[in-house]
Amino acid sequence: MTQRPPKDLHVNAPHRAATDRYDAMRYRRSGRSGLVLPAVSLGLWQNFGDETPLAVQRAIIRTAFDRGVTHIDLANNYGPPPGAAEKNFGRIFAEDLRPYRDELLISTKAGYDMWPGPYGEWGSRKYLLASLDASLKRMGLDYVDIFYSHRFDPDTPLEETMGALDTAVRSGRALYAGISSYSAERTREAVEIMRSLGTPIAIHQPSYSMFNRWIEEGLLDTADELGLGVVAFSPLAQGLLTSKYLNGVPEDARAARPGSFDRSLITDQMLERLRGLDEIARSRGQSLAQLALSWALRDDRVTSVLVGARTVDQLVDNLAAVDGAELSASEIAAIDRYAVDAGLNLWARSSES
């Protein structure tokens, strides 16, 4: 069903940001850098391609900024089609957010398949810098705040990949360098290379959720030791950790459509886990999604969690997680009964290299 923008959303009117936009959001420092991020950031991986009306995208982005979400995360291949999310964001930025550029933290990434041929993916210098230039053009930006190597490339020397990040920063096309889905060992190697070049890595972006806890087995400790921030993507397990699946798979859910979400994950055992977590959430006066975000943020080594949103209401519900009470030891123990690996780490291959 086609979504309609809120009635009071004047698409062609310039946006006037809420004057109280920084009053409710909490902010965390990214490791030992000068970078500060909102506890909840907005990711444009899903719902910001050409299949979603631009007015809906605009409403979500406006609402996010009005509630203190200063960090908007993209990648070159977000869509569909690839590049569409950056292009759509660029239009919204030009019409709504350009006056607020210095208040915004905009990130993008390159590493996955983007165009045909041998230079359209992975971690070569040619691909990364060409991709960054294309991303800047699509978004209408002079620079991004963070440019990430989206995945480790086992066939390209890490010195080459990191050298490209160094060039991106030194040339002014990015302010900070980051890596995504790198193992603890590769993270350490990347940090050492970048330090030798004089351009430190500021941040790591791994997947992390109640059902995908791989970063607890070394990466969090490594990031903390090296002074890196951690931005967790997919903290809601691609929507699994929401009320949407408590009674099975609805027709409009992502699991009902072809794509990255495997419908076979919704087993009786999974439903039992979800309902157990939902009961804990309700006892705290939270939605399941809010509990999942509060849980991911319970560790102060996690700088921010990235949420996607299909509607403004979803976004507002997610942002309310920052208002939740701190999880008690007994609540964390109760959550641990259900928060076990569920085979959701689609990015494991990169982090195992």
Q: So what's the pLDDT on residue 75?
A: 98
> How far apart (Å, rounded) are the C-alpha atoms in residues 5 and 16?
17
Nearest of 147, 146, 148, 153 to residue 123 by alpha carbon = 153
Nearest of 211, 182, 186, 191 to residue 274 by alpha carbon = 211
Contact 180, 150 (CB under 8 A): yes
pTM equals 0.92
The answer on pLDDT for 254 being more than 60 is no
Taking residue 190's Cβ as centre, other Cβ atoms within 10 Å add up to 25
The answer on pLDDT for 8 being more than 50 is no
Condensed to tens digits (0 to 9), the pLDDT of residues 288-317 reads: 999 999 999 999 999 999 999 999 999 999
Condensed to tens digits (0 to 9), the pLDDT of residues 333-346 reads: 999 999 998 878 88
Condensed to tens digits (0 to 9), the pLDDT of residues 221-241 reads: 999 999 999 999 999 999 999
Q: So what's the pLDDT on residue 262?
A: 67
Condensed to tens digits (0 to 9), the pLDDT of residues 82-113 reads: 999 999 999 999 999 999 999 999 999 999 99
What is the pLDDT confidence band of residue 3, given thresholds at 50, 70 and 90? Answer: very low
Q: What is the mean pLDDT of the chain?
A: 93
Condensed to tens digits (0 to 9), the pLDDT of residues 11-27 reads: 567 799 999 999 999 99
Nearest of 146, 78, 70 to residue 108 by alpha carbon = 146
